[in-house]
Structure 1
Amino acid sequence: MKIAESERLVLREMTPDDVDRLLVIFSDPVAMEHYPSIKTKEETKEWINWTLGNYKEYGVGLWIVERKDGTFVGQCGIVPQTVDGTTQFEIGYLFVREHWRKGYATEAAGACKKYGLEEKGYEKLISLIAPENIASKKVALNIGMSFEKEIQKWDRKIEVYSVSIG
């Protein structure tokens, strides 16, 4: 099911048939540099099941991002994260390396921001970014987020970027 679209992209719900598409990203050590490790096919299936659970429980999750010609370029969406003991909603994104530096992450994240604030009515959205991940920081800044604070999560320092209504 289509969730959102932008000038060049469509964001749709993930399905079990997306395993091989996602493995293009998850098996790439460069694309996964800021994650604990690359993922196997079985771990990718678990990721999809986690995402499908988020759709049911929260009405949001990571979505498949495709160009309007159907080319898979990545995943982007809104996922629940615990920060300082409360559930907040994060715009997360991860793209196929050959599609980096084309503005797709910013375009998809912007569509997610609009969806979260306007369709879901969230008052605030965050992005959790490793301090050394300059490209992800640029995406957050480009969609109007600003640095909020640094936290400890996943056994490391993480920067919180956020955008709020009003």
Structure 2
Amino acid sequence: MGVKTKLVTDRIRLRCMEDRDYVSLLKLFNDHDVMKYYSGLKDKRQTREWINWNKRNEKGYGVSLWIAEDRQTGDFLGQCGIVPQQIENQTVMEIGYMLARRHWGNGYAKEAAQACLDYGFNERQFGKMAALIDPDNKASIRVAEHIGMLYSRTIKKWNKPIAVYERKSYN
């Protein structure tokens, strides 16, 4: 099958995104509640582009948004991972997370985001990591704060204000 597992936690497996994830991602990207704080829903073409963008990130940077699956059942939970983002003319590694609504409130985002933070600092030796969050997205802010990220500043990105949460390396 060739599934490339990146990280494993107690309950979650994070693996590289593949073409076969298209249907699950398209459903995720067309849930109005999930996409409330994003620039809009994604159509079929945009979903394919998203998968390809993540494949390029994995190849070029060794990180991307990964598919989050239930470790026991293999059920699709959403996506979580590390992606390069431009913040004020600097490339910063961002922890991103987005879970299917039926899995909200179970601690999956915190568990996956913590695993990504540990991986970024311990394995990849990133000096700093960030989370870019819509200031109204209180649930995402709670996840960032739970993994020790602190509010840094608000920037303009994606044609709207975005709160930047950051954490420096453990070292």
- What interval of TM-score do these two structures reach, taking the shorter chain for normalisation? over 0.9
State the identity %. 45
Ranges in structure 1 where 5+ consecutive residues have no aligned partner: none
Q: How many angstroms does 1:73 deviate by? A: 0.4
Is residue 137 from structure 1 mapped to residue 141 from structure 2 by the alignment? yes
CA RMSD of aligned residues (A): 0.7
Q: Distance in 1 between matches of 2:16 and 2:158?
A: 26
Q: How far apart are the structure 2 equivalents of 1:77 and 1:22?
A: 15
- In 1, distance between residues paired with 2:27 and 2:119? 26
What's the offset of the Cα at 1:121? 0.6
What is the match of residue 105 of structure 1?
109
| AA matched with 1:29 | H
- CA–CA separation in structure 2 for the residues paired with 1:10 and 1:154: 30
Matches within 5 A, 1:84-95: 84-95=88-99
Confirm or deny that 1:60 pairs with 2:63: yes
Count of residues in correspondence between the two structures = 166
Note the residue ranges of structure 2 that are not aligned, 5 or more in a row: none
Partner residue of 1:152 out of 148, 152, 156: 156
Q: Which residue of 2 aligns with 1:44?
A: 47
- Any runs of at least 4 consecutive aligned residues in structure 1 with deviations exceeding 3 A, and if so which? none
1: CA distance, partners of 2:166 / 2:33: 26
Q: Deviations over 1:36-87 (max 9, x none)?
A: 1111122101100010010111110000000112011000000000001010
Q: Please, what TM-score do these two structures have when normalized by structure 2?
A: 0.95
Distance 2:67 2:20 in 1: 11
Residue type of the alignment partner of 2:155: I
Look up the SS of the partner of 2:74 in the other structure: coil
1:86-133 alpha-carbon deviations (Å, 9 max, x no partner):
100000011100000100000000010011001111010000000000
**Structure 2 Cα separation of the partners of residues 156 and 43 of structure 1:** 20
| 1:11 aligned to which of 10, 14, 18 | 14
2:129 to 125, 130, 138: 125
Q: TM (normalized to structure 1)?
A: 0.98
Q: Which amino acid aligns with 2:97?
A: Y
SS at 1:112's partner residue? helix
